[in-house]
Amino acid sequence: RLAALRAQQAARKEITRYDGLCRRIDPKEAAERAKTESHVVRQKVPDEGVVALDDLVYGHIEWPLSALEDQVLLKSDGFPTYHLAVVVDDHVMGITHVLRGEDWLPSTPKHLLIWRAFGWTVPPHAHVPNVLGPDGKKLSKRHGATKVEEFRAQGYLPAAMVNYLALIGWASGTEEEIFSVDELIQRWRIDHVHRAGGKWDRARLDWFDGVYIRKLTPDELMRELEPFLPAEWDRALVRKAIPLIQPRMRTLVEGRDMIAFLFSDEVQIDRSVLVGKKHQPEEIERALTKSAVVLRYLEPFSSSAIEHGLRGIAEELEWKVRDSTEPVRVAVTGKTEGPPLWESLELLGKEKTLARIERAEALLNGGGPS
């Protein structure tokens, strides 16, 4: 019957709701029928008046009782509905303030009626803005990672995550953006919460995480990186690389990936990336060959000596330094961006550096895998 009723109401473009049929059943008859018939227990809602709330974010809100149906409290299996359970649970737990997403506003009058039916004091309520995706819709799985565990696995620091989330839908009242948890506790005020939802911005979260990473000492960063490092990686070498990657990191995983080339026997090279767009393959091969000759005879194989030698190649070729060194970077790391090149080559060592440049030369000649 209820399904047919809802279908009829929907066809008439009415709000789908219970029609109060069982209100007219005599209480004695209802009690007798409930012994053998499947049934639910509903709250009888007055036909007239309003239920009101002074929300800490939205201010005074009223809902006409005529728009509310007789809500189900106990289902036919005897279990309570969520709306009954959440009110009872909040009361028993001694909840002092109810803060929840703005999407719970439509359910609020149902909860208020239950609070008042029990004669309990309604705690202050605040309906805070939802976090929205870039498309302006409520953040969900379709927008990517949404679980805290997923962000932790991607290498975001908890402190950065908390700081970033605190500023979505809330304003500090100052130009400052970086706050510790203790500072947030001291500064946070409900009257600074916006009604409009704040959009999720991954680039902004990356910026916050980078700030927090740069605030760490090298030893602290090493400890944070540890869970993300393969067991076989030389920790002493990782520790030496930290000063190179820390200023450039946005996440712990990004930092790990920046130095992965130090611990692999080979790196994957894309021939088109190796050649680039400014020069011909034979010109890039010539630049690599000259670089290898210079690097082979450097003693010691130090960052300063490497820089001096490779800058000399740029002058000899009459190229910009970046144009002549980028093929070396791609040959050695597989990427066009990364930690400072001179220091990276020193950490990698002469033998591996020359072997990778030789492999890149072979690739340009069509004699090696990419």
Burial class for 351, CB neighbours closer than 10 Å (0-12, 13-18, 19+) = exposed
Cβ neighbours of residue 84 closer than 8 Å, sequence gap 6 or more: 73, 74, 114
SS (H, E, C) 331-346: HHHCCCCCCCHHHHHH
Q: Environment class of residue 77 by beta-carbon count within 10 Å: exposed (0-12), middle (13-18) or buried (19+)?
A: exposed
Phi, psi (deg, nearest 5) at residue 310:
-75, -30
Catalytic residue among 13, 28, 35, 141: 141
Examine the residue annotation and report whether 44 is marked as an active-site residue of this protein: no
Q: What span, in angstroms and rounded, lies between the C-alpha atoms of 213 and 154?
A: 14
Produce one character per residue of 288-298: b if its CB has 16 or more CB atoms within 10 Å, e if not. bebbbebbeeb
Q: Return the structure tokens found at 78.
A: 């005897």
Q: Catalytic site residues?
A: 141
